[in-house]
Amino acid sequence: MRPVSLDRGRAWKLLGEPTDQVGSVNDPRTHQEFGVTWNEKWVYRGADGESVERVVLWNRYDLVGAFRVAADGSAEPLPLPEA
pLDDT in tens, 2-15: 555 688 888 888 88
Look at strands 31-33 and 36-38 and give their pairing: antiparallel
Q: What is the pTM of this model?
A: 0.87
Question: CB within 8 A of 13, min separation 6: which ones?
Answer: none
So where are the chain's domains? 8-77
pLDDT band, very low/low/confident/very high, at 46 (cuts 50, 70, 90): very high
Taking all residues of the chain, what is their mean pLDDT, rounded to a whole number? 89
Q: Containing H/E element for 20?
A: strand 20-23
CA–CA distance, 2 with 44 (Å, rounded to integer)? 22
CA–CA distance, 56 with 34 (Å, rounded to integer)? 11
